[in-house]
Every structure is written in C-alpha cells, then in structure tokens.
Amino acid sequence: MLGAAAASGVPQLKGVANPGRLRLKFGALSDIHIAYKEGCEVWERALKAFNEWKADGVLVCGDLADWGVYPQLEWVAESWFKIFPGGRRSDGAKIANLLHYGDHDTSGYLYRHAPQCVKVYPTEEAMKSVVITLNDRKAIWERCFKEEWHPIEHKVVNGYDFVLSHFTKGEPTNVAGNNVPGLEAFLAKLDLDPERPFFYSQHRIPRNSAGGEWIWGQDDGSSTSNVFRAKYPNCFAFCGHCHLNCSEEKAIWQDGFTCVQVPSLSYSVTMAGRDNGASLNDRPPKKPYLTMPDYTAGLCRQGYFVSVYEREIVIRRWSFTDMAPIGPDWHIALPIAGSRQFSHKVRAEREPAPEFAPDAAVSLLREFKGKDRSGAERDMVELSFPTAEATGTSLRANDYEVQVELRRDDVVTVVATHRVYATDYGRGLTVYRQNVRSYVPKDEIPQDGQIVRFVVRPVGAFGQKGNPIATPFAPYRKPVERKA
C-alpha cells in the first residue's frame, strides 16, 4: 500500500543519499477518543494498515478512552488483540504496545455532563463506578492490556529505546497536568546510547516546539523542552492533545531536540484566525470576524508511519479517511543532535512560497444569506479560486489571504482581510485539490460605484506569501449566480 502510493505521482522529498539498513518501523497515532464500541472501526482500520506494513510497534500519544471510563479502554484493548492476537502481527512477529494514557483517560470525570455521557451513565454513582482515576488505573490497564503499568514506561523495540509518559494530572506535583513528575530522574537512570535517537512520548506538547509558540495544548516547559534541549539532543519526541492537522508543516520541529505533533485519529483542528478554521483557540468567545462554518475536521483521521534507517528517519503522513498520503514524507537526517533541519525559523527563511498557476483566476460566484461565527446573519459574497502549486518543500498551499482593495485614483487601500484554508486541506492528496471557497461579508465591500477588486495570495506554512491573483478593478456588481 505504501509503495503503491509513492508510485502514484505523490511528490517525494529527498532524503539522505544512502539511508542504510531499515532498523525499525512503527505506527504513530494520537487522540483516538473511543466513546462507543462502533467507534473502533477507524482504530482497527489503522491497526490493520500497520499490520500490513509490518510495524514493529504502535505508539498512541494518549486519549484512548473518550470519557475516561474503563469500558471504553476495554474496547480499545479488544481491538488491539483482535488485530494483534497475543501481541503478534498476522505473520507471527511480535508487535510492541506503545500506548499510554492522556488527559481524557485520566481526567474523565470532567466529561460527566456531556449529553451523550449522561445518557449512558445517568447517575453520579453509575459514572463514578467506571471512571478510571476513581478506581485503580494501574489494575485497569493491566487487565486490559495484559502488561505491567508504571507512570513512566521504558520499552526497547529492535534495540531502540522508547520512553512513554502516562498523563498524571491530579498528582501532588502535577495538579494541572502540565508536566511529567519524575521524568528527569527516570531518564538519568537509563543507559541511553548517545549516538542514536531515542523515542519519547507524552500527551501534551513540549512548550514552544511542534505547532509553534501559539499552538493550544502546551505543557509548562518545566520537564520537557528544558530537559531535552539541555541534556538529550538525540531525543525524538511525539506528542498529541491539540489534534493539529498533519498537513501543517509546523507539526514537525527541531531546535535542540526533535518533536512531532501527532494528529488525531478522531478529528483534527487547525491554527486559529482562519474563517473556516476549527481551532480550539477560536471557540470562546464567539468570533464575528470568522465568516464561514468550521472546517469539516471530522473527516481528517490521520496518523504517521515511521521508518528508522541507519542514517535517517522517514515519517509518512497518512489519511485513514482516504487511505492515501497527506503530503510528502518527512526525511530527518541522523544523527539528529544539533540538527535544525526542521526548525521553523530555518524553514521560513529557506522555503519559497507556493504560487498560483499562470492561468489561475478569482471568480465571484454569488450573494447569499449566511451567518458569521457569532451566529449573526449577514449578506455574504462567495469567491472561488484554484489551489496554489508548490514551489518549496511544503508541496501544498493550505492557507490563503483574501483581501478587498479600494482604489481612489492612484491610491489603493486594503479595506478587508480574511484568511481561509483550502477546501479539505487535511485530506489525502488524492482528494484535496478542489477549488477553494471564501465568504466575504457584503458590508465589507465598498458600494455606490466605488472602484474595488478582490485579491488572493497563497500563504506558505511559515507565513511566506506568493504572488497574488485578482479580479479587475471595477465597481462592485452583484454576481450572476453560477457554480465554481
């Protein structure tokens, strides 16, 4: 399946000239959020793919049981042993369980008042009887997965070290859940090979790493980025929690160590400030300047497949909705100590912006009654334009700047600015390239014969803007409604 995808014309980035022998393969998922047994279908789809690709292990960065109740964790484990009976792949080879708790697993009682939760557990007593952290989280894990449980786990797979931190919110030194108690001391006791990477996983994001400084869901920095940057430059960290779409190039980061934000198998979120975004930072309070409904993030069921060679690590970004790659593989050269290959700053300086094709144009499709994100009804104008082509290593333009310009003689003024994601930008490359839609409120467009135009620029992963396409300067007229 992976080879077929590469042969189908999916763009590929160059890795090292001679990667050496393949040493390790593992799947990486996060935030699977199993609420009902029927919800295991996508989880099992991912496990079947990892089985087919002969993974040596499967990493899941937490949030297994959506409401933090052990029947949900039991369904997760049932699916695991259904696909990997006795902890083995279909070819008989062992596969490592690299799963760990997240905040939903160990803060489950916070979700007590969700309507669907109340329906299943109508009384306080019923709910409390199954909440993992109100019972024995160690015994529940061991019963489900048939292995010993410790707050921090160390496992070795094909000679590579994995350190897995279970989410431990509520402990005396971790009341808010923003750090990993005992991590530094735990690492100090391990005899880690200084010449090769080791893999670390926690639920929340090491502060100011993958996703960038503004991303939602970071830890407090006390026992993650500070520890690794100072002492463990060969650390390759995986984290979850924020559900960041892995078509975002900011999902991988290097600066003192390496960190990758693992997308959700349940639903994805975006960066904030885009009209059709689904960012947690955009939720409270209501945002009248966002003019479109949330992006259909529930279709973005994503994960990674990681291949570790002697001289590089290759990460394939995969859509389990479309069973297709989301973008080109990331190639991380080894050794990683001191590398800034995937530094956000370095990439912003190095990578050119995406550009529109020479024949690309902006079209005005219609006027219609719509609602902004505050729920207020507004007259909208719908624009359409094609996706931009890649010129650098991001290989897809996810984001666009849409502006309305007013011209008075030789003076041009920007009177409205919006940002919008590409339609289905988090889907596989086989389906993502349909035309982009943007809604501009009509009250932002100068009327009464004033001279205006609509301008669109593609925006690269790190803010680089490509050359614009635009309508001609002319008085605004209601468009004749037509399809894109």
If asked whether residues 329 and 413 sit together in one domain, one would say: no
Omega of the bond prior to 285 within 30 degrees of 0, cis? yes
Secondary structure letter of residue 480 according to DSSP: P
DSSP per residue, 344-374:
HHHHHHHPPPPB--TT---EEEEEEEEE-TT
Q: Specify whether the CB–CB gap between 335 and 454 falls below 8 A.
A: no
Number of independent structural domains in the chain: 2
If asked whether residues 72 and 178 sit together in one domain, one would say: yes
The 3-class SS string of 217-276 reads CECCCCCCHHHHHHHCCCEEEEECCCCECCCCHHHEEECCCEEEECCECCCCECCCCCCC
Q: Cα dihedral sign for 263, 399, 422, 371? A: positive
Q: Specify whether the CB–CB gap between 320 and 46 falls below 8 A.
A: yes
Predicted local distance difference test score (pLDDT) of residue 433: 72
Q: Final residue of a domain: which of 315, 350, 385?
A: 350
Secondary structure letter of residue 329 according to DSSP: P
Q: How would you class 14 by CB atoms within 10 Å of its CB: exposed for 0-12, middle for 13-18, buried for 19 or more?
A: exposed
Q: How would you class 139 by CB atoms within 10 Å of its CB: exposed for 0-12, middle for 13-18, buried for 19 or more?
A: exposed
Per-run averaged pLDDT (10 residues), the chain, 484 residues: 44 76 98 94 98 98 95 98 98 98 82 84 90 93 97 97 91 81 93 90 95 92 85 95 93 96 94 90 84 83 97 96 91 92 92 90 96 94 90 70 98 98 85 87 96 96 93 95 70
Predicted local distance difference test score (pLDDT) of residue 393: 52
Predicted local distance difference test score (pLDDT) of residue 170: 74
If asked whether residues 333 and 465 sit together in one domain, one would say: no
Helix (H) or strand (E) segment spanning residue 190 = none
- How far is the C-alpha of 235 from the C-alpha of 226, rounded, in Å? 12
Tokens 């996703």, located at residue = 211
Tokens 């009887």, located at residue = 129
Look at residue 72 and give its three-state secondary structure. Answer: helix
CA atoms within 13 A on the CB side of 85: 4
Domain with 196 in it? 2-266+301-350
Q: Specify whether the CB–CB gap between 425 and 398 falls below 8 A.
A: yes
If asked whether residues 182 and 140 sit together in one domain, one would say: yes
Predicted local distance difference test score (pLDDT) of residue 391: 64
Q: CB-based contacts of 260: which residues, under 8 Å, 6+ apart?
A: 28, 210, 236, 237, 238, 239, 251, 252, 253, 304, 315
Residue 434 is encoded by which pair of tokens?
Answer: 């349909």
Omega of the bond prior to 335 within 30 degrees of 0, cis? yes
- How far is the C-alpha of 240 from the C-alpha of 210, rounded, in Å? 10
Q: Specify whether the CB–CB gap between 229 and 255 falls below 8 A.
A: yes
If asked whether residues 49 and 161 sit together in one domain, one would say: yes
Q: Is residue 391 part of a domain?
A: yes
If asked whether residues 326 and 417 sit together in one domain, one would say: no
Tokens 């880690």, located at residue = 192
If asked whether residues 321 and 387 sit together in one domain, one would say: no
Strands of 128-221, DSSP E: 152-157, 160-165, 198-202
Predicted local distance difference test score (pLDDT) of residue 12: 58
Residue 175 is encoded by which pair of tokens?
Answer: 């009341």
Q: Final residue of a domain: which of 289, 317, 350?
A: 350
Q: Is residue 282 part of a domain?
A: no
Q: What is the amino acid identity at position 379?
A: D
- How far is the C-alpha of 8 from the C-alpha of 11, rounded, in Å? 9
Q: Is residue 421 part of a domain?
A: yes
Predicted local distance difference test score (pLDDT) of residue 124: 87
If asked whether residues 346 and 367 sit together in one domain, one would say: no
Q: Is residue 89 part of a domain?
A: yes
If asked whether residues 153 and 30 sit together in one domain, one would say: yes
If asked whether residues 330 and 368 sit together in one domain, one would say: no
Q: Specify whether the CB–CB gap between 482 and 379 falls below 8 A.
A: no
- How far is the C-alpha of 181 from the C-alpha of 198, rounded, in Å? 20
If asked whether residues 227 and 198 sit together in one domain, one would say: yes
Query: Any bridge partners for residue 453, and if so which?
Result: 405
Q: Is residue 276 part of a domain?
A: no
Indicate which CATH number applies to the domain containing 41: 3.60.21.10
Secondary structure letter of residue 215 according to DSSP: -
Q: Is residue 375 part of a domain?
A: yes
Q: Is residue 197 part of a domain?
A: yes
b/e for 335-368, b at 16 or more Cβ within 10 A?
Answer: ebbebeebebeebeeebebbbbeeebebbbbbee
Q: CB-based contacts of 328: which residues, under 8 Å, 6+ apart?
A: 10, 11, 12, 13, 393, 395
Indicate which CATH number applies to the domain containing 414: 2.60.40
Q: Is residue 357 part of a domain?
A: no
Predicted local distance difference test score (pLDDT) of residue 115: 86
Q: Cα dihedral sign for 276, 279, 280, 282? A: negative
Predicted local distance difference test score (pLDDT) of residue 24: 98
Main-chain phi, psi angles of 111, to 5 degrees: -100, 15
If asked whether residues 111 and 182 sit together in one domain, one would say: yes
